[in-house]
Amino acid sequence: MTRRHKWQLAGGVVVVGSLVLVLAFHLWRTKNISSVQRGWTVAHNKGCFTCHGPGGIRGTPAPGSTFGEAPTWEGGTYMMYVKDEQEIRDWILDGAPARLRSDPEWMRQQQKAVITMPGWRGAISERELTDLIAFYKAVSDFVTPPDSSLAEQGRQEAKKLGCFSCHGPQGRGTMPNVRSFKGYIPSWNGDDFPELVQNDQEIRDWILDGGPKRILEHPVAKWFIEREPIKMPRFRGHITDEQMNAIIAYIHWLRGRP
């Protein structure tokens, strides 16, 4: 092998090695992007937000149609349109569930409408559909803790305090956060939660002081936390013990353990 060849070989190894590292870093960073967050992106990319409003939380008038609007997905209105999870799928794939499509009166009325729900069959992959349904379910509060449980109270408190603006619908999102360690705001039900929160005291530390000392004073974590534009707000003095306990109960419910 000539000297020149050796250099070329070394250069090749460096280039390929760097590509592998970049790819591995990318995979590691995106591994915990939640299904709900991917569904948000699907909804954005397919244009669902044109009719159902930004984030799916604002309706659009649909004069002439049976319901009179492309409804917001928020605020429990899904109960008027969706009987079960299968029907969410049918709305998206066929523009309405079979129950309505087989009703001649409904079909006749819909023909007079200026806007109707498009059917996306063939224009959406199975994986995209799964994520989109997860997103719709989170935004519409399709599944919530039992009425009048502490966890349900916690969900309401979290909503009032604005937690879901950053942590995504129901705390299930992973919104982007450039320059942060992982590149996103962690969800409350993600696999990386146990790294960030080891016990209930640490949940309190996050909410009251923007993080537990273990993380805030860790040299690497600290460097990232100082640089990230969106930080966990410090709610100390702006949250009661009662709200705190309820929110902790909600986070436990979300993570599926008592």
Comparing CA positions, the residue from 70, 27, 36, 30 lying closest to residue 50 is 70
Please state, in angstroms and rounded to a whole number, the distance separating the CA atoms of residues 229 and 211: 15
Angstrom CA distances, 222 to 124, 133, 199, 202, 215, stand at 41, 36, 20, 16, 7
Cα torsion angle, 87, 90, 92, 94, sign? negative
Establish if 38 lies at the interface with ligand HEC (CB under 6 A): no
Sorted by sequence, the CB contacts under 8 Å of residue 205 that are 6+ apart come out as: 211, 212, 213
Cα–Cα distance list, 182 to 27, 121, 158, 201, 213 (Å): 11, 34, 23, 23, 19
CB 34 within 8 A of CB 172: yes
Interface with ligand HEC, residue 57, by CB under 6 A: no
Site for ligand HEC in 192-251 (CB under 6 A): 193, 196-197, 203, 206-207, 225, 228, 230-233, 235, 247
Q: Least CB distance from residue 36 to ligand HEC, whole Å?
A: 13
CB of 3 to ligand HEC, least distance (A): 48
Q: Which is nearer to ligand HEC, 58 or 231 (CB)?
A: 231
Structure tokens at 1: 């092998």
Q: Residue 8 or 30: which CB sits closer to ligand HEC? A: 30
When binding is defined by CB under 6 A, the residue of 73, 74, 174, 252 that contacts ligand HEC is 73
Residue 75 binding ligand HEC, by CB under 6 A: no
CB of 23 to ligand HEC, least distance (A): 23
Contact (CB, 8 A) for 68 and 74: no
Exactly one of 33, 92, 134, 246 binds ligand HEC (CB under 6 A); which one?
92
Our finding on whether 183 is near ligand HEC (CB under 6 A) is no
Chain contacts with ligand HEC (rule: CB under 6 A): 43, 46-48, 50-52, 62, 65-67, 70-71, 73, 78, 81-82, 88, 91-92, 113, 115-118, 120, 132, 136, 158, 161-163, 165-167, 177, 180, 185-186, 188, 193, 196-197, 203, 206-207, 225, 228, 230-233, 235, 247
